[in-house]
A and B are shown apart, each in its own frame.
Chain A
């Protein structure tokens, strides 16, 4: 019973399927015979089918009768389609002996004809083991919560069934990622679909079989390093690398890419782009090199990715003139609606929709009538008689002590950004400060507490 795999074969218009235990030596011809006998058994009333009347379609290709299972990139619980042949098309056999994955192992974003001579292993697919062949695509699977190898599949853009055969193989990533680039013929009953829709599946061994049809995000910048390019950061040659979308296609190994992302995230140095979102560019600093598929940042791990999402939401909110509730442990994002009829004195009054804290939009302190107290945010007058009389003195003292201490600490260790007044702590380095708050980015001098100038650099850059 070695090398037996279970294959699900869909054959009916209503999604009827049968599961076959097949040896890896089994040919497509034999599958056809077993499918036909099964169909004939079930549909006693209909005219019986012959193996020649059906075609086996997998991953956008009609599979040749002589092909063996082990050469088809089929895994346990893979789904293939058996369809009645509508008409013999002349082009369908063009590449039927190669599977889609084999045909596109060397996908790149632009045609790299000039570079093909560098390709070492990929010129000869037979040198690759099936495990290697699988690892040409990397995907993020929301089910496994992991980055793993993926499988390229194709379906009909109209009926969404995998019963489509492609007219030609995709030759670059654009063919795969942009809808409508590759045409095909759908063999699903009366569906007249003619456009191929590519998608990816998780190929992880740990992927739950029941979820096998969930499509996953392809991380097309992550590649198997078959050209043995050295990493731009650590200068080692590693198996899995990220190729930046810059014109030079700079290569960084997957580990350094992760550290690069984490260090940029912790410095809050991701770039916000109105089309892409919160992203990074090539680590060398090339122009026009923003990473468009932000799922690549999944590499940072679950916890850091959550932080990334929070930062991204905050940046987006602040850039759209929203505010973030200043209450500790809240931080909810609020869009303030402007109402012309409202009393101008009240237009800075914001009520947090999450914690109901009422604060002033200008100074981000508790709401007050009249002008904001300039930089005296810390002199809370909690000793005033009217305040302490109304509450239990012990708890009043506790909260007073807590409040004063943390406020004193903040006051003692920070200086406000001269532009947006965000308290800033200086943790070593020179006197040149750059505000990391979204939409501010002010360059200022820690000593002068004003804009950073040449004189600052000359006179007291370091003290």
Chain B
């Protein structure tokens, strides 16, 4: 077994071993710091030949995550390889929180705000983290 990753946990569902309850801590130094984000991860039948399906359950203000929690990440799409694991996927998602990419947006309004007024966007992201990701 690989070392557990600090700030990330993935626990399989009791009734469905393909379904994981994931918790990712907002990375230090990011506007998501201090937040605890819940995600769901599902391994489709074809896994590992096709990518796991991952979605944020906790509301988050991020240019690459839309309001339904869907994530814009290449390794979840065409850059998927069977050599990637749940661990690598979750690490990539954690990295996406540290480094939002407004040029490759999924949530257009958020991305625009991020580009026009980054300070304001980060403030909103902090506010959302406090509102939705710290309630326990």
Contact = CB atoms under 8 A, between A and B. Distances in A.
A284 interface: yes
Interface in B17-67: 46, 48-50, 66
Interface of A is mostly: mixed
B33 to A, nearest CB: 26
A458 B106 contact: yes
Contacts of A284: 81, 83
B49 A260 contact: yes
Nearest to B2: A235
Nearest to A284: B83
Interface in B83-118: 83, 85, 104-108, 111
B81 A263 contact: no
Contacts of A454: 104-105
Contact of B108 (A283, A285, A458): A458
Interface in A201-224: none
A232 B66 contact: no
B49 A458 contact: no
Contact of B48 (A233, A250, A455): A233
Nearest to A458: B108
B1 to A, nearest CB: 10
Contacts of B85: 235
Interface string B107-131: 1100100000000000000000000
Contacts of A285: 79, 81
Contacts of B104: 454, 457
Contacts of A263: 46, 49-50
Interface residues of B, number: 20
A283 B83 contact: yes
Interface in A54-84: none
B68 interface: yes
A40 B83 CA distance: 65
Interface string A73-101: 00000000000000000000000000000
Interface centre among B68, B79, B82 (most CB of A within 10 A): B82
Interface in A236-264: 250, 252, 256, 259-260, 263-264
A388 to B, nearest CB: 49
Contacts of A260: 49, 82
B68 to A, nearest CB: 7
Contacts of A459: 108
Interface string A276-315: 0000000111000000000000000000000000000000
A401 interface: no
A233 B50 contact: no
A461 interface: yes
Contacts of A335: none
Contacts of A19: none
Contacts of B111: 458
B103 to A, nearest CB: 8
A100 to B, nearest CB: 35
A233 B104 CA distance: 29
Contacts of B77: 432
Contacts of A250: 83
Contacts of A264: 49
Nearest to B70: A462
B81 to A, nearest CB: 5
B10 interface: no
By Cβ-Cβ distance, the 8 closest A-B pairs, closest first, are A458-B108, A263-B49, A233-B82, A232-B83, A284-B83, A233-B48, A458-B105, A283-B82
Interface of A: 232-235, 250, 252, 256, 259-260, 263-264, 283-285, 432, 454-455, 457-459, 461-462
16 contacts: A232-B83, A235-B85, A256-B48, A256-B82, A259-B49, A260-B49, A264-B49, A284-B81, A284-B83, A285-B81, A432-B77, A457-B105, A457-B106, A458-B105, A458-B108, A461-B106
Given A256-B82, A283-B81, 19 more contacts: A233-B82, A233-B83, A234-B48, A235-B85, A252-B82, A256-B48, A260-B49, A263-B46, A283-B82, A283-B83, A284-B81, A285-B79, A432-B77, A454-B104, A454-B105, A455-B108, A461-B66, A461-B72, A461-B106
